[in-house]
Structure 1
Amino acid sequence: MYNEYDDPKFFGQYAQMPRSRQGLSAAGEWSQLKGLFPDMRGRSVLDLGCGYGWHCRYALEQGAARVLGLDISENMLDEAGKRGGEGIEYRLCGIEDYEYPQEEWDLAVSNLALHYIGDLDTVYEKVYRTLRPKGVFLFNIEHPVFTAGVGQDWIYSPKGEPLYWPVDGYFTPGERVTNFLGCKVKKQHHTLTQILNCLIGRGFRITAVEEAKPPEEMLSEPGMRDELRRPMMLLVRAEK
């Protein structure tokens, strides 16, 4: 399956992002997402769209007994392997293609990957099946206010200053072709109703919903003040 992350130009740009170079500490959502993780000591953890493997290694550091990271990008998995983490299994596999064995995992985590999936409801069904009783599904998805507009960019003044963030076609879910890191990228827009109600419909109990806001210490970085003017990410924790 083609994916942008195996395109040399795109991946070269992605590799320069702070979260790619510095890890979880440079991710604006990490201060909130970290607090939503359950106790992982002795538990099994499945990472859907593991990327560089940051969350896989975090799970291992927190005492997880078994960690499996899935990703469709060979580039991502190569980078994950370079960063170590003895005991972590990485597998080239799409989120939709994994077998999801019944009651196999205590935690399924997905960070900034589900907005590439068109059929969230089916993925939710499979995740619910693969979680053990009282298992946790924790994910970070691009906020629907962010994904709704086709351009996914500010409306600028003649001087190039960001004026407002347009929200258009919100109630029309589906594919959006956007410009990300200088490349055209295909994403999927889902409404808030879809993201949350489909979880409930599959039997999950939602225990936390947070809109990511970068911590104060990141506000001095270029462009971060503008990041606070519109929600970019939605963090959700659900339990079986």
Structure 2
Amino acid sequence: MRYREDIETRFTARHKACIRFSGDVRDRVILDVGCWIGWYERFMAEKGCKFITGIDTDRNALRKAKKNVSVDRCEFVCASAHRLPFRANIFDLVSMFDVLEHLPVNLESDVLSEVNRTLSMGGLLLVSVPNNHFIAKLFDPAYFLIGHRHYALNEISGLMEKIGFNIYEVKYGEGSRKLYR
């Protein structure tokens, strides 16, 4: 079978876990940082979010996302997480699934601070990162080829607390955390 970049072909158990972890999104305004081809936007729209904005720096992925998700309450924006083009305090929920490990080294704090700026008071940040475990690294070719980073629980929790997030729930086995501002 030829490789295809579409939601049905590329959808994994990890994606399903992220959707479950998002909980009830009805009437929430959501920002998805690193939206890729729009898989999260599609399912959040189906779950009844008020509005969702997906951002990515890959214009080709954004074109695919626009084809994959065609609902009125969704938009896709070419933007970097370093300088989010949004007002402060406007999102009820921000998701960052498999994004932090792709940022330039030591810029995680800057990006998370920028995300924090856009979250409304009581807003929720969902983060998923690769687990810093030797087995996880062993099965991640990008770790060896391009230095794909993995994070330990205390490392990511400390980073979040330093920025001002209160940790509400941790699902370490799934690599996800719920963080409230």
Instruction: Tell me the TM-score normalized by structure 2.
Output: 0.82
**Separation in 2 of the partners of 1:196 and 1:62?**
28
Deviations 1:91-121 (A, max 9, x none): 1112223235210100001111221123211
Instruction: Tell me the TM-score normalized by structure 1.
Output: 0.64
Deviations 1:30-80 (A, max 9, x none): 443333214322221000000111111112112222211011112211211
More strand by share: 1
Aligned to 1:205: 166
Contact 2:28 2:49 in 1 (8 A): yes
Contact 2:129 2:151 in 1 (8 A): no
Amino acid of the residue matched to residue 179 of structure 2?
A
Unaligned runs of 5+ in 2: none
Aligned to 1:72: 57
Amino acid of the residue matched to residue 142 of structure 1?
P
Shift of 1:125: 1.5
**Separation in 2 of the partners of 1:42 and 1:239?**
17
Aligned CA RMSD, in angstroms, stands at: 2.8
Amino acid of the residue matched to residue 39 of structure 1?
D
Deviations 1:145-184 (A, max 9, x none): 2699xxx436xxxxxxxxxx9xxxxxxxxxx9646xxxx5
Contact 1:38 1:136 in 2 (8 A): no
**Separation in 2 of the partners of 1:198 and 1:185?**
23
1:60 aligned onto 2:1: no
Count how many residue pairs are aligned between Structure 1 and Structure 2: 177
Question: In the alignment, which of 118, 129, 133 is matched to residue 145 of structure 1?
Answer: 133
Percent identical residues: 21
Aligned to 2:18: 33
Aligned to 2:80: 94
The more displaced of 74-83 and 138-147 is 138-147
Closer/same/farther in 2, CA of residues 146 and 78 from structure 1, 3 Å limit? farther
Unaligned runs of 5+ in 1: 1-11, 155-164, 166-175, 213-232
More helix by share: 2
1:110 aligned onto 2:96: yes
1:238 aligned onto 2:179: yes
Closer/same/farther in 2, CA of residues 68 and 201 from structure 1, 3 Å limit? same
**Separation in 1 of the partners of 2:64 and 2:146?**
21
Contact 1:116 1:186 in 2 (8 A): no
DSSP 3-state at the match of 1:108: strand
Contact 2:41 2:52 in 1 (8 A): yes
